[in-house]
Amino acid sequence: MDYTEDKILALQSKAPLREMEIAGRVYPLGDLSDEQIVEYCALGQRLVDGTATDADRNPRHVVLMVLWAGDKSLDLRTIYDHITREHVLAAGDEVMRQVLMRTLTTRHRGSA
């Protein structure tokens, strides 16, 4: 996903996405752990430098990340086939918002 400066500024002020409806059911979303943030950033780097695997290129994984962060008891295999492009875009924005907010918070604490 391409993020312009305007899109990034809009994400900074956007409220967190706390749930997502998939196939008629509402699922809670959660905040990514530090490890998930690191993995998401590493995935982005693999995509940029051309070392991404076929699994890395699957955009549904970003949806699974935020679903798993919200409820670790979910059977993600039953949800996987129902993930649409709109789910991927919304989850991608939420993950990017979380990365931005974590980065800003970390930088702010580091400068204090």
- Domain extent listing, the chain: 25-111
pLDDT (0 to 100) of residue 111: 55
CB 60 within 8 Å of CB 83: yes
Judged against a pLDDT cut of 70, whether residue 107 lies above it is answered with no
Quick one: pLDDT band at residue 10, thresholds 50, 70, 90? Answer: confident
Which residue pairs, CB below 8 angstroms and at least 24 apart, start in 97-103? 97/11, 97/12, 97/14, 97/16, 97/17, 98/16, 98/31, 98/32, 98/37, 99/37, 99/40, 99/41, 100/8, 100/11, 100/12, 101/12, 102/34, 102/37
> Which residue type occupies 8?
I
What is the reported pLDDT for 105? 75
**The pTM is what?**
0.81
Residue 108 has pLDDT above 80, yes or no: no
Assigned token pair, 31: 């905040």
